[in-house]
């Protein structure tokens, strides 16, 4: 069982404050819940009262002025002698105190009236009059203005009040009363300045938090857009050229179906193989979007330069023979560059097949010291209505975007013999690391 302990009384020296005055035996869990409920209840009441005061500032300030007027009148009532003009002193005290109701709207005017009222009371020969209106008005003005204005207001008030209570008054105030007046006025100004500084600090923090939140939302939206673009590009690369081959083989099968059924059967076999490859690549691409709890799907290896042979053989049934030339010393290529090179070759050959009558295409792979150069050429000519193999669709745009992601470039232009040439220059170093380091990581 859980050990029990006795709650101390509120007058005990303990860092925990309890709302009850009696002892009780409770478990630590119940004790923590009770303390949290008490704290939440108190804080909730304070927050409700503060919100109400913010919505009804004039009413709240009026209530505060009335509460401050009560001790001032009690002080005057208990004072043995109010001087030769007691009615004037009481009227000044009541008017300056009740005027605090509009202190937030007119802080300078309210402070000036309070100072003048206190000085007038002292000059009329009254005993030390209540300085509550002056202190409260200084506090309110300090919370609503900057430090320079608050300091100026404090100095002006002292310039008016000190001569009034020492030189102009028929009876000089006691030194303790004068020092109390200066100390309380300075304390009110410092407290108001502290509250104003804290409000400005909290406002700055909230503004920075809001700006950071907006920045995070914009960054999240940008990342979502980039991810959507990447997914669209991967789906295009995975499916487009396979569907092109299926379309070509379907057309051939339809053309020879009646006269040459055996060739139509062969074309249908190629269609089946190309569609299966398209489904496998589509499944691999969509598999990357699965959540952690989804069942895993079998994924194909990431396509790279080592799979160019399979890619070239996929175009042979469509009548496009591809030859490849590799120059330089082959080396390990970063994964991102490897996939990019494969997709660029795939898209370029797909454009050759869709937009030209070329029966052959040449692919060149050149390994240099710091970059990889890929070239795809065809002898043309372009099909009717196509200015170039990249005249339609998003193929060339996708190639440029893929190359730009890894820091490379794409150059696509027609050749003098009527063909077309696509050149990709991709770096072999990503983020300051060598290709070998990237592969090891």
Asked whether the predicted pLDDT for residue 410 surpasses 60, the reply is: yes
Asked whether the predicted pLDDT for residue 73 surpasses 90, the reply is: no
Question: Residue 115: which domain range?
Answer: 83-173
Contacts of 101 (CB under 8 A, 6+ apart): 58, 61, 62, 65
**Pairing label, strands 25-26, 360-367:** unpaired
pLDDT: which is higher, 126 or 164 = 164
434 domain residue, yes or no: yes
Res. 396 pLDDT band, cuts 50 70 90: confident
CATH number of 343's domain: 3.30.565.10
330 domain residue, yes or no: yes
216 domain residue, yes or no: no
What's the pLDDT at 49?
63
pLDDT tens figures, 209-248? 888 888 888 888 888 787 777 777 777 766 766 677 777 7
3-state SS, residue 291: coil
16 domain residue, yes or no: yes
The last residue of a domain, from among 173, 199, 233: 173
Residues 377, 435: one domain?
yes
Residues 433, 314: one domain?
yes
Per the CB < 8 A criterion, the answer to whether 301 and 395 are in contact is no
Residues 20, 92: one domain?
no
Asked whether the predicted pLDDT for residue 40 surpasses 60, the reply is: no
Residues 30, 125: one domain?
no
pLDDT tens figures, 258-287? 777 777 777 777 777 777 777 776 666 666
Contacts of 188 (CB under 8 A, 6+ apart): 135, 136, 138, 139, 142
Angle between helices 57-78 and 28-55 (to 10 degrees): 90
Per the CB < 8 A criterion, the answer to whether 137 and 108 are in contact is no
User: How far, in Å, are 153, 157, 195 from residue 43 at the CA level?
Assistant: 35, 37, 19
CA 323 to chain centre: 51
178 domain residue, yes or no: no
Region class of 385: left (phi > 0), else alpha (psi between -120 and 50), else beta: left
14 domain residue, yes or no: yes
What's the pLDDT at 286?
64
The last residue of a domain, from among 173, 204, 225: 173
Residues 33, 119: one domain?
no
Q: Where are the alpha helices (DSSP H) in 257-317?
A: 261-287, 308-315
299 domain residue, yes or no: no
Phi then psi dihedrals of residue 266, to 5 deg? -65, -45
Residues 28, 141: one domain?
no
Residues 313, 417: one domain?
yes
- Short-list 144, 192, 185, CA closest to 162: 185
Asked whether the predicted pLDDT for residue 433 surpasses 70, the reply is: no
User: How far, in Å, are 204, 221, 421 from residue 211 at the CA level?
Assistant: 10, 15, 48
What is the C-alpha to C-alpha distance for residues 18 and 14, in angstroms, rounded to an integer?
10
What's the pLDDT at 26?
47
Q: What is the mean pLDDT of the chain?
A: 75
Instruction: Tally Cβ neighbours within 10 Å of residue 227.
Output: 11
Residues 41, 165: one domain?
no
What does the pLDDT average to over 196-206?
88
Q: 2-6, 156-160, 276-280, 298-302: which range is least confident on average? A: 2-6
What's the pLDDT at 392?
46
What does the pLDDT average to over 418-427?
89
Residues 344, 435: one domain?
yes
What is the C-alpha to C-alpha distance for residues 170 and 252, in angstroms, rounded to an integer?
121
pLDDT: which is higher, 99 or 367 = 367
Question: Which residues are registered as beta bridge partners of 363?
Answer: 324, 376
Token pair of 214, please?
């907006």
What is the C-alpha to C-alpha distance for residues 249 and 244, in angstroms, rounded to an integer?
9
Residues 103, 40: one domain?
no
The last residue of a domain, from among 36, 55, 74: 55
Say if residue 381 is preceded by a cis peptide, omega within 30 of 0: yes
Token pair of 284, please?
């691999």
Residues 156, 23: one domain?
no
Residues 43, 169: one domain?
no
CA 376 to chain centre: 44
What is the C-alpha to C-alpha distance for residues 137 and 129, in angstroms, rounded to an integer?
16
Phi then psi dihedrals of residue 15, to 5 deg? -75, -10
pLDDT tens figures, 363-379? 999 998 888 999 999 88
What's the pLDDT at 78?
72
421 domain residue, yes or no: yes
Domain count for the chain, please give it: 3
């Amino acid at each position: 069982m859980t050990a029990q302990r006795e709650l101390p009384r509120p007058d005990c020296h303990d860092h925990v404050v309890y709302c009850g005055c009696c002892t009780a035996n409770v478990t630590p869990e119940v004790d923590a819940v009770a303390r949290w409920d008490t704290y939440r209840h108190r804080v909730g009441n304070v927050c409700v009262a503060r919100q109400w005061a913010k919505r009804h500032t004039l009413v709240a300030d009026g209530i505060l002025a009335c509460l401050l007027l009560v001790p001032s009148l009690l002080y005057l009532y208990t004072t043995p002698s109010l001087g030769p003009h007691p009615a004037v002193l009481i009227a000044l005290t009541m008017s300056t105190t009740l005027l605090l109701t509009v202190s937030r709207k007119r802080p300078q005017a309210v402070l000036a009236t309070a100072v003048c009222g206190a000085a007038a009371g002292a000059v009329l020969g009254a005993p030390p009059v209540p300085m509550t209106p002056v202190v409260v008005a200084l506090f309110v003005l300090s919370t609503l203005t900057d430090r320079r204005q608050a300091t100026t207001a404090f100095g002006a008030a002292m310039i008016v009040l000190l001569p009034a209570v020492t030189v102009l008054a028929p009876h000089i105030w006691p030194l303790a009363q004068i020092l109390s007046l200066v100390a309380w006025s300075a304390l009110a100004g410092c407290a108001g300045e502290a509250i104003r500084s804290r409000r400005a600090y909290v406002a700055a923090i909230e503004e920075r938090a809001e700006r950071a939140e907006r920045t995070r939302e914009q960054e999240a939206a940008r990342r979502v857009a980039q991810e959507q673009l990447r997914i669209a590009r991967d789906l295009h690369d995975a499916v487009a050229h396979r569907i092109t081959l299926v379309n070509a083989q379907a057309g051939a099968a339809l053309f020879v179906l009646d006269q040459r059924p055996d060739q139509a059967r062969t074309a249908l076999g190629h269609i089946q193989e190309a569609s299966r490859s398209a489904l496998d690549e589509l499944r691999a691409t969509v598999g990357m979007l699965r959540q952690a709890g989804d069942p895993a799907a079998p994924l194909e290896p990431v396509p790279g330069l080592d799979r160019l042979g399979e890619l070239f053989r996929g175009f042979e049934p469509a009548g496009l023979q591809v030859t490849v030339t590799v120059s330089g010393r082959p080396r390990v290529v970063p994964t991102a560059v490897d996939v990019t090179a494969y997709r660029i070759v795939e898209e370029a050959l797909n454009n050759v097949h869709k937009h030209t009558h070329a029966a052959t295409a040449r692919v060149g792979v050149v390994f240099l010291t710091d970059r990889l150069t890929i070239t795809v050429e065809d002898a043309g000519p372009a099909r009717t209505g196509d200015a170039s193999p990249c005249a339609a669709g998003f193929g060339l745009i996708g190639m440029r975007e893929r190359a730009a992601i890894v820091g490379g470039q794409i150059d696509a232009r027609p050749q003098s013999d009527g063909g077309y040439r696509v050149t990709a220059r991709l770096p072999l170093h990503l983020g300051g690391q060598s290709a070998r380091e990237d592969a090891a990581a």
